[in-house]
Structure 1
Amino acid sequence: TLFVGDESTPFAFRSQAGNNAIIHIGTHAEANNLHPEYSRLIFAKDPQHVSDSNSVFLFDIYNYDLKSDLTVLTACETGRPGFNDGEGMISMAHAFSYAGSESILTGLWKIDEKASCQITDIFYKNLEEGMTKDVALQKAKLTYLASARGRTLNPQYWAGLVIMGDTSPVKISRDHTMLYVWIAIGVAIVMFAGFLLFRRRTKTRQKVAAPLLSA
């Protein structure tokens, strides 16, 4: 099931994510260092459930049933841990593992969207060929590096994606491979549009504030 843009709501995630062998989430994420249980995934606002937040918090995910062979979290810092009294180090990746995902592909720091899309695209194609998840990711990174140029060769662009959990192969079809590629592309477009809107609003505020500052 594919949810892109306004369709990618918390309700859609809660109701559909547990029904899939592979869960791919490419939305924005925020890590909360002081209170890691409030780290969150940010989805689109649901017009049919106006009282709902557009966020899914880490403590929510611990209570979901998300059994799957693989969860792919290309959102920023989903693998970055925080300390919780009584639990130790927790993260989005840990929460998805607790909720039932056998393995997680996650990011340890803020990931370049274009690079992560390229790597996950190749990763899925490698899985389609029957590779184990760890080998599929390793070869995806090597393929990415073979064509990368300039600053995109820096480990900051590609080394943050890691596999956690069961690394055994997972069966996917060619049609499913292209579906995941379109998920990544669709989310990247939505996030870029949001960035442009944020920058436009920031510039507008600066113009309004300028006379006050000069006075």
Structure 2
Amino acid sequence: MASEANFKRESQHYSILHLALHGEVSDADPLYSKLKFSPADNDSTEDGYLNIYEIYNMNLNSELAVLSACNTGYGKLEKGEGLMSLGRAFQYAGVNSLLLSNWGVPDEVAPALMYDFYRYLKQGMKKSEALRNAKLNYLKTAGIHKSAPFYWGSFVVIGDASPMEIEGGRSRNWIFALISICFFASVLWTSTFRLTERPL
């Protein structure tokens, strides 16, 4: 289940984190920008909202976090602090590289882009190169009405863009995916990846 409690409990054990959730940015109080998880039954400790201030207190050792949600790279520019985004919080928590969105992500486009991103990453491409090729592949079939940058230009890679080994390559890798109802189509491609815990 894509619950906040599951993420907090399990996320530090995986080198790839993929969250296809709804993101909400608060300009009034950036520390309360959040990712919305599925409501957890009988859980009085978590409210289903993973706020920036909570992410700052996490200890993540992931090589890559894919935040396939709306506005995960967007935030308020605070004097002396910089951009207060969800992506920055994940970097602060220890993630080496991020794939973020800078505006609202169309539900029908994101799953295809993410599928191709992982496919190219598995081939040994740099993260930035894998994303570029995923976008180019999308444009080949998008058609004139869905080829505008609005549909595909939101996603960017920041941090360490170097290649990484994922399952099926020369060494094993691990992915922890949480899919919410608003991105139900993502299930079509996440089924191609095994959920394997990293040995400690």
Runs of 4 or more, structure 1, over 3 Å off, are 174-177, 182-187
Alignment of 1:125-164 (within 5 A): 125-164=119-158
* Percent identical: 31
Counterpart of 1:122?
116
Cα deviation per residue 1:141-160 (whole Å; 9 max; x = unaligned)? 00000111132101000000
Is residue 2:183 matched to residue 1:188?
yes
**TM-score, length-scaled by structure 1:** 0.78
| Structure having the larger proportion of residues in strand | 2
Shift of 1:190: 8.3
Matches within 5 A, 1:34-113: 34-84=28-78, 86-113=80-107
Distance change (3 Å), C-alpha of 1:65 and 1:185: closer
Compute the displacement of 1:186 (Å): 6.7
**More helix as a share of residues:** 1
Structure 1: which amino acid aligns with 2:56?
A: Y
**Residue identity opposite 2:91 in structure 1:** S
Separation of aligned partners in 1, 2:80 and 2:68? 28
Q: Which residue of 2 aligns with 1:171?
A: 165
Check whether the contact 2:2–2:179 (CA below 8 A) recurs between aligned residues.
no
Per-residue deviation, 1:174: 4.7
Question: What amino acid maps onto 2:5 in structure 1?
Answer: F
What is the aligned length? 183
Please provide the CA RMSD for this pair: 2.4
- Whole-Å Cα distance in 2 between the matches of residues 190 and 11 of structure 1? 23
Corresponding position of 2:198:
none
Q: Residue 36 of structure 1 contacts residue 83 of structure 1 at CA under 8 Å; is this kept in 2? A: no
Q: Distance in 2 between matches of 1:173 and 1:190?
A: 22
1:71 alignment partner AA: A
Which structure would you say has the larger Rg? 1
Q: Distance in 2 between matches of 1:190 and 1:30?
A: 20
The structure with higher relative contact order (CA 8 Å, sep 6+) is: 2
The aligned amino acid for 1:188 is F
